[in-house]
Structure 1
Amino acid sequence: MTESISILCDNVCLSGVLHLPEGIQDKKVPLIVLLHGFVGSKVGEHRLFVKAARKFTDKGYAVFRFDFSGCGESDGDYADVTVSKQLSEVQAVLDYVSTLKEVDTKNIILIGHSLGGAVASLTASVDKRIRQLILWSPVAKPYEDITAILGDTALQTAKALGVFDYNGFYVSQQFLEDLKNHYPLEAIHSYEGQLLVIHAAEDKDVSKENAVYYSESLKCGNTGNIRYIKDANHTFASYSFEEQLFEETLVWLEKSEVKANKIAL
């Protein structure tokens, strides 16, 4: 079951889709919120987030995927995007999904891909509603990781003109300067929930070393919460990579749920 949702945040309408598992009736279920990355959308490359949402709802999870402002079907223009604004938008989304009668508000899970991984980590470090955090090929050092993707010419152009045209998206100097204000590896020290990092082993866009950085940044750093998808690229662009990504995610979620229940007892 899917429903298109529009959420108002700072006079901008964010376009989202809510997926609910069948047959839940009055039962409350765990909710996964999917955060896309740099110049991405709630559909995802090769429909990654659509496929993920369907896979997870088949396993009994509710899923909410949405476009940040300036992306996909949401209002706004990418020239006005900053990570600071995206953090506010995630809060608006979490406030909305927390009101849904079908959602177990004590079991909200954030999954962030690429830059969405950094945004998810920054959010989880301050929002106690996040019980579990899953990062797919995450950005760890926003300014360094994103500027490495853009290259020097883009940085020089943005500094001179205020924006750079990156594949049809205006990336602004304001966006680049704002990246310098965010340190997810430091922020995650404050996160008290459970973390899984899954990185593409052949990622040419975002270093797979980021998985280790995140794991070691936790209070109880433990590299046992890292998985690598062999031969995969940054967006896990094959059915084989996708299936491994989803399966690793679901197996970990199931084990985490069992562990949490034992602790509660």
Structure 2
Amino acid sequence: MELPIAFENEGQQLIGVLHVPNGASKVPGVVMCHGFTGNRSESHFLFTKAARAFAEAGIAVLRFDFRGSGDSDGSFEDMTISSEISDAVRAIEVLAQRPEVDANRIGIVGLSLGGCVAACATARSERVRATVLWAPVHDPKVIAYHRNATEQVFPWEFTGGLLLGEALVRELPTIDPVAELRNVRGPVLILHGSADQTLPVEGSEAFVRAIESAGGQVEREIVDGADHTFASVNHERYAIDRTASWFRDVFAAIEPEIAPSAKRISYADAGVDIEAANVTKKRLRELVRESYTPNVLTELGSFGGLFLANFPDLEEPVLVSSTDGVGTKLKVAIAANRHDTVG
């Protein structure tokens, strides 16, 4: 099932697509972060195909346009890596709050600059448990390497009629995805094409060294002959299938979130004193027997009869339940957060 979705971040609307496995109930979820000048579908519809494959594997997916890209609010000229990191963290929260999604099993995928964003979002969101980087940018300054950015008059044209703002270029030296990803708690998978001419494979090695030096879990796989976006049928299929399989294995090892209604609660947890209840029941049984008269039309549970509300010794008659009624009362007590009565 594919659903259009819109959510806000910092006063602007972001547009995306939510992929939900059929009959989903508390399934893992993954956020996808597109690359520089990209969108939620990505080149050769890589993200669309990947999201559908992940959903078939039992994983919910949220792919969306960063502010200034695709159909989301904002101008590309105003985008910064910091704004994209903020958008990604917000998307993680939106996905985690979906009723179909297990908030304890959230992952993220990023392509190219989206890999840089995904790395930083992983470090800044406690929800992310698994991270996949496809041909990631390890040093954002690569965006302006071919220009002397310090001498530019802003905004200046980058490519294809897109303008870069001064805020983006000025912040490039301050963004360090390698340092941010170094101490993440979850495993990381990196896929990088050996024929990537945009970001050579040596760049992603920096992530591996940093994570391993901190004792983290990281796998890097060089996909033979693949370019920057895995733009061939075989390379594309391999990247998608390998990632889906990896996510499935990682999420299978993480204990699913248990909904409050599904948690086992004992009488003691609910504040019910069974011994006191037994004593009370014994006393009530005796009282019921004393109050029994021929006017009683039927019996009530194990108490032996329904006592008359106007019996002289009963100043404040109460309804007392037994057997299944106790379980019902316990649920009512939990729902009302009131455990100051026993019956």
TM-score, length basis structure 1:
0.90
> Are 1:220 and 2:218 counterparts?
no
> Are 1:185 and 2:182 counterparts?
no
Name the stretch that deviates more: 126-135 or 213-222. 213-222
Write out aligned runs for 1:100-249 (5 A): 100-143=98-141, 145-148=142-145, 151-152=146-147, 155=149, 159-218=152-211, 219-220=214-215, 225-249=219-243
Structure 1 pair 107/123, CA: closer, same or farther in 2 (3 Å)?
Answer: same
Identity across matched positions, percent: 31
Q: CA deviation at 1:86?
A: 1.0
Q: Which amino acid aligns with 2:220?
A: I
- Partners in 1 of 2:163 and 2:155 — Cα distance? 9
- SS across alignment from 1:105: strand
- Partners in 1 of 2:200 and 2:64 — Cα distance? 26
Q: CA deviation at 1:8?
A: 1.2
Q: Which amino acid aligns with 1:74?
A: S
Number of the residue aligned with 2:267: none
Name the stretch that deviates more: 207-216 or 65-74. 207-216
Name the stretch that deviates more: 5-14 or 30-39. 5-14
Q: Which fold has the larger relative contact order, with Cα–Cα distance below 8 Å and residues 6 or more apart in sequence? A: 1
- Partners in 2 of 1:216 and 1:136 — Cα distance? 17
> Are 1:45 and 2:38 counterparts?
no
Number of the residue aligned with 2:59: 61
Q: CA deviation at 1:239?
A: 1.1
Q: CA deviation at 1:258?
A: 4.5
Number of the residue aligned with 1:9: 9
The answer to whether the 8 Å contact 2:80/2:167 transfers is: yes
- Partners in 2 of 1:100 and 1:255 — Cα distance? 22
Q: Please, which runs of 5 or more residues in structure 2 have no aligned partner?
A: 256-343
The answer to which structure has the higher strand fraction is 1
- Partners in 1 of 2:13 and 2:20 — Cα distance? 22
Q: Which amino acid aligns with 1:220?
A: G
Number of the residue aligned with 1:253: 247
Q: Please, which runs of 5 or more residues in structure 1 have no aligned partner?
A: none
The answer to whether the 8 Å contact 2:39/2:69 transfers is: yes
Q: Which amino acid aligns with 2:222?
A: Y
Q: Which has the larger radius of gyration?
A: 2
- Partners in 2 of 1:257 and 1:116 — Cα distance? 22
Q: Which amino acid aligns with 1:77?
A: S
Name the stretch that deviates more: 245-254 or 234-243. 245-254
- Partners in 1 of 2:246 and 2:31 — Cα distance? 16
Query: Over aligned residue pairs, what C-alpha RMSD do you find?
Result: 1.6
Aligned residues: 253
Q: Deviations over 1:74-129 (max 9, x none)?
A: 11110000011111111221221121100100100000000010111111112110
TM-score, length basis structure 2:
0.70
- Partners in 2 of 1:135 and 1:161 — Cα distance? 31
